[in-house]
Amino acid sequence: MPAITPVVEECEHPAQSVLTPDFVQAAYFRDAYRTVLSQPGLAVQDIFHNIFMHRPGWMKLIMITRNGLVSLFGIAAPSVTEIMHPKVKEHYAVGDKIGAWPIFFITPNELVAGRDNSHLDFRLSIFRENDGQTVVISTVCHVHNGFGRFYLKLIRPFHRWGVRFLIKRAVLDGRL
């Protein structure tokens, strides 16, 4: 029997998201990926945890290296502890950190986290749709300067591959 490949399809950012269509369209970079949930009752924070808190060691090391490099330019970045041992809470509210990122918005159907920096602002949205049958994971980045544009051009291929990889692993491991 052939192995089942999880379907992670590129899609549009959900129009019903708190991140409005105008905000998304004005972004320098945006992407969105949809997958079917085998556990439709998952809360948005559990979906976040089940995708982003199960990074393989090699990916954590790449992130730590990247964070060390950008911090040389005065850019705020997650600490080694936040990458290696992220805290998991039972309940989250706006202003709390989930993983390494502050939460900007949270409802039963959407969680928006991210970071504002001198070079760019980014938002990560976890959006449950179709009564929780599917989820859309999207990233929206607004750049402020040439360094932000340069940085995004550099990491864009790794970001796209990495997000898909993490979603597929979560599906294959039965976490979604």
pLDDT (tens digit per residue) in 106-160? 999 999 999 999 899 999 999 999 888 999 999 999 999 999 999 899 889 899 9
Residue 4 lies in a domain: no
**Residue 93 has what pLDDT?**
96
Q: DSSP string of the chain? A: -PPPPP--EE-PPPTTSSS-HHHHHT-SEEEEEEEE-SSTT--HHHHHHHHHT---HHHHHHHHHHHHHHHTTT-----HHHHHS----S---TTSEETTEEEEEEETTEEEEEEE-SSEEEEEEEEEETTTTEEEEEEEEEE-SHHHHHHHHHHHHHHHHHHHHHHHHHHHTT--
Query: Which residue in the block uniquely carries the two structure tokens 């950008």?
Result: 70
CATH number for the domain including 126?
3.30.530
**Residue 5 has what pLDDT?**
62
Residue 2 lies in a domain: no
**Span 28-84, pLDDT tens digits:** 999 999 999 988 889 999 999 999 998 988 888 888 888 888 788 777 777 888 888
- Residue of 121, 129, 160 whose CA lies nearest to 47: 129
> Is 21's pLDDT higher than 70?
yes
Q: Are 35 and 164 spatial neighbours (Cβ–Cβ below 8 Å)?
A: no
Provide the number of structural domains found in the chain: 1
**Residue 106 has what pLDDT?**
98
User: How many alpha carbons lie under 13 Å from residue 48 in its C-beta half-sphere?
Assistant: 31
Tokens representing 81 are 């502890």
**Span 80-98, pLDDT tens digits:** 888 888 888 989 999 999 9
Residue 101 lies in a domain: yes
pTM of the model: 0.89
**Residue 1 has what pLDDT?**
47
Residue 3 lies in a domain: no
- Domain span at residue 27 reads 9-172
